[in-house]
């Protein structure tokens, strides 16, 4: 029987609202359609403290999976990746590598601009996706078939 994961979706943006957040809405819907329970959805500005505070709160609440979208570019305001990296206890570099490989097939060399990253933050799966709807769909394509296995491994034999 597939495990129903407790999930949080965080959109990092200075401009998105619940009405215009197509990427976050896609993730919420995709997770629900896959049988998971989205217990948290939030939009925060591109600010380190806001991102970290929300992710840590969901992690402390025992969420199994946290997905963020946005703030992964290379501008000065894009701080999602360093925040995520600071929370990871076991990075999964293959996620970013595969994400960029799939993205290259879709957008060519622009895929090198992606800083998609993910891994384990204690017992919580944590992944940062770019903000575009296409990139989020690519990330979901990569993650959806692996979530049960990832969640089982995250809970196995304890984590720091």
For 35-54, the pLDDT digits (tens) are 999 999 999 999 999 999 99
Q: Examine residue 18 and state whether it is found in any structural domain, yes or no.
A: no
pLDDT band at 157 (very low <50, low <70, confident <90, very high): low
For 62-96, the pLDDT digits (tens) are 999 999 999 998 888 999 999 999 999 999 999 99
Q: Which CATH number covers residue 59?
A: 3.40.980.10
DSSP codes joined into one string, the chain: -----EEEEEEE-SS--TTT-HHHHHHHHHHHHTT-EEEEEEEE-S-HHHHHHHHHHHHHTT-SEEEEES--SSSTT--HHHHHHHH-SEE-HHHHHHHHHHHHHHHGGGGGG---EEEEETTEEEEEE-SSHHHHHHHHHHHHTTHHHHHHHHHTT---
Q: Examine residue 77 and state whether it is found in any structural domain, yes or no.
A: no
pLDDT mean across residues, the chain: 94
Q: Examine residue 142 and state whether it is found in any structural domain, yes or no.
A: yes
CA-CA distance, 155 to 80, in Å (whole number)?
A: 25
Q: Examine residue 41 and state whether it is found in any structural domain, yes or no.
A: yes
| Domain count for the chain | 1
> Could you list the residue range(s) of the whole structural domain that residue 125 is in?
32-45+54-65+82-160
Residue 152 clears pLDDT 70, i.e. is over it: yes
For 96-139, the pLDDT digits (tens) are 999 999 999 999 898 888 899 999 999 999 999 999 999 999 99
Q: Examine residue 106 and state whether it is found in any structural domain, yes or no.
A: yes
Q: Examine residue 17 and state whether it is found in any structural domain, yes or no.
A: no
Q: Examine residue 131 and state whether it is found in any structural domain, yes or no.
A: yes
């Amino acid at each position: 029987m597939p495990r129903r994961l407790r999930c949080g979706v965080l959109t990092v943006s200075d401009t998105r609202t619940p009405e215009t957040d197509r990427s976050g809405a896609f993730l919420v819907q995709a997770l629900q359609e896959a049988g998971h329970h989205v217990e948290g959805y939030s939009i925060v500005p591109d600010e380190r403290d806001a991102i970290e505070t929300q992710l840590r709160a969901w992690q402390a609440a025992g969420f199994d999976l946290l997905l963020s979208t946005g703030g992964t570019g290379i501008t000065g305001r894009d701080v999602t990746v360093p925040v995520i990296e600071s929370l990871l206890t076991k990075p999964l570099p293959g996620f970013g590598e595969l994400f960029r490989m799939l993205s290259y097939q879709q957008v060519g060399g622009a895929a090198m601009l992606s800083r998609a990253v993910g891994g384990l933050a204690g017992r919580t799966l944590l992944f940062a996706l770019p903000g575009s709807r296409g990139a989020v769909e690519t990330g979901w394509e990569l993650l959806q078939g692996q979530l049960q296995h990832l969640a089982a491994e995250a809970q196995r034999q304890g984590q720091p």
